Structure 1
C-alpha cells in the first residue's frame, strides 16, 4: 500500500489525471462477504478484479484510493469476516448433505454431492483478492482539516452521521474524498465514492450524500456493479 501525504497524493493525481475511485471499508469487505450475502451481487468479485487490472494499465486510467482509516479498519475486520464466511459455507454443505440423504431415502437413488465448497478455500481466496485491491490503493492519512470537517458533520448530523449515531471515522473518511473533489475540480476527472453502507450514505439518512457530491461533480456508487456502470458511462 503506497502511503502518501494528502498534498503528495493530490500532486500525483494532477500530474497523471485519471478517474479517482475512492473506496470505503464496507465495499472492500464485500468482496469477502459476497458468497453469503444476498444483497451483494455474485459478480462483485469479477468487477473488483477487472478494476484492479484496469488500475495497473499504462497510461493511467484509474486511481484506486482509500483513507488510511479504511486500511486500518480492513485489517481489524477481515479475519472475522473470513471466519463468518467459512461458518456459512459449512452450514450450506451440511444442509446439502442432509437434503441428499433425505432424497436418497425417498427415492432409493444415490445423488452426486458435487463440489464441496469448503474444500476450495473460498473465503481465503476472496480475502486475498480484497487484499490485492487494498494493496493497490493510494493510501491517504487524514489531516487535521479533515478531522475538523468531520467533527462539524457530526455536530450537524450530516450524512454519514445522524442523530444517535455520530460515525466520526466514516465522516473523516468521507471528508478526505470531498477535499480531493474540491482540489481536483479544474482537472475535470471522474470522481467516484464507493460505499455499500447505504444506511448511512443513502437517501434514508437525511437525503444522503448525492446532492453534496453533485455539487463537486462526483458520483456515489453503492456496489461494485454500479462502479463499473459509471466507468462505462451507463449510469
Structure 2
C-alpha cells in the first residue's frame, strides 16, 4: 500500500475513491452469476490502471475493509472455483449429449482454468495501489453512536457495527483531506445497495446523504458508476 500523507494527496488533487469490502470481494466472485457483466469488469480494470498511476485517482482502503476482506476472501475464492467446476461438468454433459447425435469435439474453456488466480491477482494489485485510511481512536465510539441511532448503514435488527466503522473512517479521513484543501471529487463505492441505497439502488439513503453532503462525497453502487462519477 501507499503511505497516507494528507499534504501529498491534497497536492495531487486527484479524485479519491473510497473502497468498501464488498466491492473488492465482488472482483473475485463467481463469474457465472447472472449479475456479472463485462462492462463492470472493464471498469474495474480501467480504474485499477488509473489507481496504479496515482495521478489519475487515489484509492483509499479503511482498516476495517482490510480486516473484513481477510475474513471472507478464502470463502469467495472457493465459491468461484466451485462454480467454474460446475460449469465444466455441465458442458461435459452437454458435449456428451451432442456427441451421441454425431457432433464431435469438447467445448474448450481452458482459458478459465486460472481465472480465480487471475482475479485474486487483480485484487492484490488494488491493495498495492491503495492508500490505507487509518481508523482513528474515536471511530469505534462514532460507529457505535450510529448503530444505536439506527443511522445508515445501520438499521434495527442488524449487526451493522463493521459497516459503520467503515463509513465513520471515511468520513473522518475525507474530512481531514477537505480541511487541508482537497478540491477533487470523492466517491464511496459499495455494492451493498440494500444497506446504503435502499429501494432506489443508486442513491444514498437520506440520512447518510446528509453526512456526505458537507464533504462533497458521492456514492456509487458499482465500479462502473464510480468511474463515471470520478470523471475517468
Larger displacement relative to structure 2 (125-134 or 28-37):
28-37
Alignment check: 8 A CA contact 1:30 1:40 kept: no
Within 5 Å, give how 1:24-173 maps onto structure 2. Answer: 24-33=20-29, 35-57=31-53, 60-105=55-100, 107-116=101-110, 120-173=113-166
Q: Deviations over 1:66-92 (max 9, x none)?
A: 111111222222122111111000001
Q: CA shift at 1:180, angstroms?
A: 3.0
Residues 187 and 219, structure 2, Cα contact 8 Å, conserved in 1: yes
CA 56–113 in structure 1, closer or farther in 2 if over 3 Å, else same: closer
The SS at the match of 2:123 is: helix
Contact 1:197 1:222 in 2 (8 A): yes
Listed as ranges, the gaps of 5+ residues in structure 2 are none
Q: Which residue of 1 aligns with 2:216?
A: 217
Structure 2 CA distance for partners of 1:142 and 1:42, relative to 1, 3 Å = same
Which whole-Å CA distance do the structure 1 matches of 2:150 and 2:33 have between them? 29
Q: Which digits, 9 at most, give the CA deviation of each residue in 1:45-101, with x for residues without a partner? A: 32222212212336x221011111111222222122111111000001111111121
Task: Say if 1:40 and 1:129 are closer, same or farther in 2 by CA, change over 3 A.
Answer: same
Q: CA 1:206/1:213 → structure 2, altered by over 3 Å: closer, same or farther?
A: closer
**Please, which runs of 5 or more residues in structure 1 have no aligned partner?**
none
**TM superposition score normalised by structure 2:** 0.87
CA deviation vs aligned residue, 1:5-35 (integer Å, no higher than 9, x gap): xxxx333322322111000110011110151
Q: In 1, are the aligned partners of 2:196 and 2:205 still within 8 Å (CA)?
A: no
**Cα distance in structure 2, aligned partners of 1:47 and 1:17:** 22
Normalised by the length of structure 1, the TM-score is 0.86
For 1:130 and 1:43, the matched residues in 2 are separated by 17
1:102-124 Cα distance to aligned partner (Å, 9 max, x none): 1222x222144122355x31101
Deviation readout 1:121-168 (Å, 9 max, x if unpaired): 110110111111012111122112222211111011011111011311
Partners of 1:98 and 1:207 lie apart in 2 by 50
